[in-house]
Amino acid sequence: MEPAPAAVLLGWELMAVDPDAGTIEVAFRASEQFLNPAGVVQGGFLAAMLDDTLGPALVATLRAGEWAPTTDLHVQFLASARPGRLIGRGRVVGRGGEIAFLAGELLREDGVVIATAVATANVRRS
Amino acid sequence: MEPAPAAVLLGWELMAVDPDAGTIEVAFRASEQFLNPAGVVQGGFLAAMLDDTLGPALVATLRAGEWAPTTDLHVQFLASARPGRLIGRGRVVGRGGEIAFLAGELLREDGVVIATAVATANVRRS
């Protein structure tokens, strides 16, 4: 499948996925385009990366014809990030009917966690 | 002041700001680059726009030498957005010492609210 424009812009790359466990690991490329006036990656772009980590963790568990828009995303910003490679780890924490609870974190390559997130998604059938 | 790269990428434009009231109105240009596999703006980019709405509402109230990194951002996604112009409205809801509480929403040009956000920021002095 062709990656979506948002994934291309974020430098999204699949590292590992385990649909049975509901876990995923992806990589991103934080670009100079994402910098805020303080010269670090604007927090919203870290949120975009986390959205593109938690969402795919759930999507990997869905059946054909299902999709799952995110209804809520809560991000905590623990540390700042410079342009370069970042790692996203996401997981499906729980599933109750059509509601899915997701969590994950974004790390620098040296293992420092720069942001964590929880999200809620609504599984729908076409 | 030269706009930051993240603001340029989001098509950020100041419409109105009232530092005494702690309110701001800004505009964005959602680009085709921000689309997800469903062909709508990836939620994370809406979060990035809200971060660049709530943050500036606070920054406009700060003194010289102060800055305020966001610690938490919580976004609810009410409706989807297509590429084009979006409006952000942000406000400082409260301030207790170095902690500031922010809120706002992102609207389509026809007035439909597509996402709302609350954020917490930490005011620092250099």
ipTM for the whole complex: 0.94
> B48-94 pLDDT, tens per residue?
999 999 999 999 999 999 999 999 999 999 999 999 999 999 999 99
3-class secondary-structure state, position A89:
strand
Contacting residues of B for A41, CB less than 8 Å apart: 6
Give yes or no for a contact between B77 and A70, defined as CB atoms under 8 angstroms apart: yes
What would the mean pLDDT of B7-36 be, rounded to a whole number?
Answer: 97
Q: Is B53 exposed, middle or buried (0-12, 13-18, 19+ CB in 10 A)?
A: buried
For the CA atoms of B74, B78, B82, B85, the dihedral, rounded to the nearest 10 degrees, stands at -70
Percent over 90 (pLDDT), chain B:
95
3-class secondary-structure state, position A46:
helix
Query: Between chains, do A1 and B37 touch, taking CB under 8 Å as contact?
Result: yes
Percent over 70 (pLDDT), chain A:
99
Give yes or no for a contact between A53 and A104, defined as CB atoms under 8 angstroms apart: yes
Is residue A11's pLDDT more than 70?
Answer: yes
Sign, Cα dihedral of B54, B58, B60, B64: negative
Query: Between chains, do B69 and A80 touch, taking CB under 8 Å as contact?
Result: yes
> What is the distance in angstroms between the CA of the first residue and the CA of the last residue of chain B?
19
Element (H, E) at A51: helix A43-59
Nearest CA in chain B to A2: B37
What would the mean pLDDT of B84-109 be, rounded to a whole number?
Answer: 97
CA–CA dist A52, A28 (Å, integer): 10
Q: Which pLDDT value is given to residue A2?
A: 75
Of B38, B43, B76, which has the smallest distance from its Cβ to A51's Cβ?
A: B43
Percent over 70 (pLDDT), chain B:
99
- B124 close to A (CB below 8 A): no
Is residue A1's pLDDT more than 70?
Answer: no
Q: Which pLDDT value is given to residue B71?
A: 97
What own/partner pairs with CB < 8 Å and gap ≥ 24 does B104-108 have?
B104/B50, B104/B53, B104/B54, B104/B57, B105/B50, B106/B28, B106/B46, B106/B49, B106/B50, B106/B53, B106/B81, B108/B79, B108/B81, B108/B84
Per-residue burial over A13-29, b = 16 or more CB atoms within 10 Å of its CB, e = otherwise: eeeebeeeebbbbbbbe
Q: Retrieve residue A90's tokens.
A: 């996401």
CA–CA dist A72, B42 (Å, integer): 13
Give yes or no for a contact between A92 and A102, defined as CB atoms under 8 angstroms apart: yes
Confidence of residue A44 (pLDDT cuts 50, 70, 90): very high
DSSP letter assigned to residue B83: S
The model carries a pTM of 0.95
> A63-81 pLDDT, tens per residue?
999 999 999 999 999 999 9
Which of A42, A76, A118, A123 to probe by mutation at the B interface, max B CB count within 10 Å?
A42
Treating both helix axes as pointing N-terminal to C-terminal, what angle do B43-59 and A43-59 enclose, rounded to 10 degrees? 160
> What is the distance in angstroms between the CA of the first residue and the CA of the last residue of chain A?
19
Is residue B3's pLDDT more than 90?
Answer: no
